[in-house]
Structure 1
Amino acid sequence: MNADSPTTAAAVSFDPIPLPATGGDALSADFEDMTRVRNAVLREVMGSDVDAQTPEDLAPLFLPDPDELRYLWLIRRGGEVIGRLGVDIPQIEGSRTAFWFLDILAAHHGQGIGTRVHEEVVEPTARSHGRSVLQTWAQHTEEPGERLHSPAGLGSIPRDHAARFGLRHGYTLAQVERRSEFDLTTGLPHVEELFAQAQSAAEGYRIVQWQVPTPAEFVEDYAWMKSRMSTDAPAADLEWDEEPWDADRIARHDAMLVRGEGGRALVTAAQHIATGRLVAFNELTIQSDPEGVTSQEDTLVLKEHRGHRLGMLVKCAGLRAWPALAPRSRRVVTYNAEENRPMLDVNETIGFVPVAYEGAWKKVLE
């Protein structure tokens, strides 16, 4: 959500982008332009190309998916590509939610473009699918002055241009997420120490790991744990549908974890020895650039197995194994809700440090 908009935007078009129908499709010029403007906006926000991706990396995110209907637009002004817009409609019975994102180059902020996008595209698309709850995320830059606090009581963001845009269009701050990074070049000896300690505390559990695709023997338990992410993770004021997962969805998820030629993904799980069931997991991924940033994706410990340091166990087991798969990646990035104190405690102990914050924004349509 990167726009600010008190005035009228002229000569701006919102052009639908053809989405790939299969993984082997040639990508359109519009999709490549979308990738370029995405990377340019992130460069403005982050001050580097740390989050840049190729069109081939992004394409799997927009393949047909029975669980989610996706729309994507290029924003042009006078023929120049200045931004992109996406709306996702979960295909879950009874869902009220629509998710959206907006990236506009900073030179075009404050000219009414974001307002037009929201009024002419975002809200009408959501309403056409019977959705009444809009949710979006924005990276917020640190600046002095007034701050907005998470309704969960932990975390805050500055009242910057993205926050002003949200407030002006009827959104409330629903949650604050912390972006943290870990230095793989210096932090692994400490990870080894923590792993040994976690192993001692996790009596009755053992580590299992796999690179995707997920082996058949683990699909059922992995699917169950993924379904619990939508109900067990801290949500603050956000609305999440309870998501069903099965073998087909795990296969699609595996394909999205590894995007682009040379991508890797490692899943680390804790197995309860007495029952043989998987009860905690962690995901590490890297896309096509072998020197790129590693993403620590979902981590979850099932509620009934908490208190055995399994979060520390699966995170450390994954990190200590990762250099063998991605030896040229130097850092790991992850996101956590500020109220998720147990997981933040684990991350901070490992050596993750906060580098940025995101605001999750919510609007209920009348």
Structure 2
Amino acid sequence: MPITISEISLPERADDPVWVARGDLVRAYNHELIGTAEWDVDDESSLSLAKSNTTDRVRRILAFDGDTVIGFANLYVNERDSPDMGNVLVFVDEGFRGRGVGTALLARLDDFAAEAGLKRLTSWVMAPIAGDEPVAVPTTGIGRAPANFSGIRFSLNNGFAMEQIERVSRYDFAAPLVAPEEALAEAEAAAGDQYELIAWEGVADDDIIGGLVVLKERMDTDPPSGGMDVIESTWDVARLREIEDRFLPRNRIWRTVVRHRHSGEIVALSELFRDRINPDALVDQWDTIVLPEHRGHRLGMLVKAANLLQVRDADPGAKAVVTWNAEENRFMLGVNEALGFRPILIEAAMQKRLVAG
């Protein structure tokens, strides 16, 4: 039976058969990476998040073998911050690989990119940690990826350059390398009285959120980006409130910040998110940042350890945290390693420049 490629629109209801079939494939993609349901998102939640996304223009396509969905692909264009760049994800059911399905899906995304006049495409490809096997090395020369893993091989064969490797690490609350209370106490002693630690769940107070705007903008430029083009986002209070409104109905959000007592400036941040619906959900680490002018006072450890304690005490169902860090970001990797984070995957940052024509 011939393979067909079709674009889909968001359905009215989450029980739409095509949407459910797509969701099953997305969950299969996650299971293939981590072997558990800890990254699963239910169809109702994924549809709600998709409908509330006002930042990205999204094209979604599916590959069918008859009536069976065997692959999906997405093109996301952030119209607010990088309207000339698209992010792509392509996945094909394991039983249908090697038949040109992924190539056909990517070709359709390339057509969409050409229609939109995009200048480059990016893709973030997660893969197992490379062992004793052929490896691919990013343009930074730091880190490595398994060259024969399907997603890595597919990206490189289709014109993408590997610009950076991120380490994906997991922290299990039941097996910390050091008690987070001890890590917090040591970091507080190093920070001294000039800094104030603030922790909370849910929405940010009005006297804090302005400082979060500054830290969010610095997240675009401060962490290492390897060979990836740096995109500077524009943040304001309204945008942060929009994120809270979008995610809080179906996610718990914990944040810790450090305020410099003399200036009142918010100088460090750690954010943790957890799906409310999936009882097995991992806690996802979002941003962690310390302003450069306040580094050297253990503030990274301070906000990380405090937030781990906050989640552990507030959510007994939370078993583990997953975080992403560039392999050249030795400072944050050192903080994570000291707390007990261990590597479980890598994520390759891929980029392809497009020729206008």
After TM superposition, the score normalised by the length of structure 1 is 0.90
SS at match of 2:121: strand
> Partner residue of 1:248?
238
The alpha carbon displacement at 1:45 in A equals 2.9
Deviation readout 1:99-130 (Å, 9 max, x if unpaired): 111121111111101111111x2112222222
**What percentage of aligned pairs have identical amino acids?**
28
The alpha carbon displacement at 1:326 in A equals 1.2
Change beyond 3 A, Cα 1:66–1:54: closer
Change beyond 3 A, Cα 1:45–1:66: closer
Q: Verify: 1:294 aligned to 2:286, yes or no.
A: no
Which residue, out of 7, 17, 35, partners 1:15? 7
Letter in 2 for 1:251: R
The alpha carbon displacement at 1:189 in A equals 5.7
Aligned mates of 2:230, 2:47 — CA distance in 1: 25
Mapped contact 1:150–1:175 kept (Cα < 8 A): yes
> Partner residue of 1:163?
152
The alpha carbon displacement at 1:74 in A equals 2.7
Q: Verify: 1:220 aligned to 2:179, yes or no.
A: no
Deviation readout 1:195-237 (Å, 9 max, x if unpaired): 1111011121111122222222222111221111111121101
The alpha carbon displacement at 1:256 in A equals 4.5
Mapped contact 1:44–1:106 kept (Cα < 8 A): no
Q: Which runs of 5+ in 1 are unaligned?
A: 1-8
Q: Verify: 1:102 aligned to 2:90, yes or no.
A: yes
Mapped contact 2:7–2:59 kept (Cα < 8 A): no
Mapped contact 1:69–1:89 kept (Cα < 8 A): yes
Aligned mates of 2:237, 2:196 — CA distance in 1: 24
Mapped contact 2:71–2:101 kept (Cα < 8 A): no
Mapped contact 2:252–2:273 kept (Cα < 8 A): yes
> Partner residue of 1:57?
45
Letter in 2 for 1:217: D
Change beyond 3 A, Cα 1:31–1:218: farther
Mapped contact 2:76–2:86 kept (Cα < 8 A): yes
SS at match of 1:328: coil
Mapped contact 1:98–1:126 kept (Cα < 8 A): yes
Change beyond 3 A, Cα 1:330–1:93: closer
Letter in 2 for 1:230: D
Q: Verify: 1:133 aligned to 2:120, yes or no.
A: yes
Aligned mates of 1:356, 1:291 — CA distance in 2: 19
SS at match of 1:86: strand
> Partner residue of 1:195?
184
Which residue, out of 328, 335, 350, partners 2:324? 335
Compare 306-315 and 42-51 and name the one that shifted more: 42-51
Which residue, out of 73, 77, 92, partners 1:85? 73
Q: Which runs of 5+ in 2 are unaligned?
A: none
Aligned mates of 1:112, 1:267 — CA distance in 2: 44
Compare 319-328 and 134-143 and name the one that shifted more: 134-143
Letter in 1 for 2:314: L
Mapped contact 2:61–2:105 kept (Cα < 8 A): no
Letter in 2 for 1:209: A
Change beyond 3 A, Cα 1:259–1:240: farther
Aligned mates of 1:143, 1:94 — CA distance in 2: 36
Letter in 1 for 2:133: G
Aligned mates of 1:278, 1:317 — CA distance in 2: 16
The alignment yields a C-alpha RMSD, in angstroms, of 2.1
The alpha carbon displacement at 1:66 in A equals 4.1
Aligned mates of 1:19, 1:93 — CA distance in 2: 27
> Partner residue of 1:4?
none
Mapped contact 2:200–2:255 kept (Cα < 8 A): yes
Compare 266-275 and 45-54 and name the one that shifted more: 45-54
Mapped contact 1:57–1:259 kept (Cα < 8 A): no
After TM superposition, the score normalised by the length of structure 2 is 0.92
> Partner residue of 2:264?
276
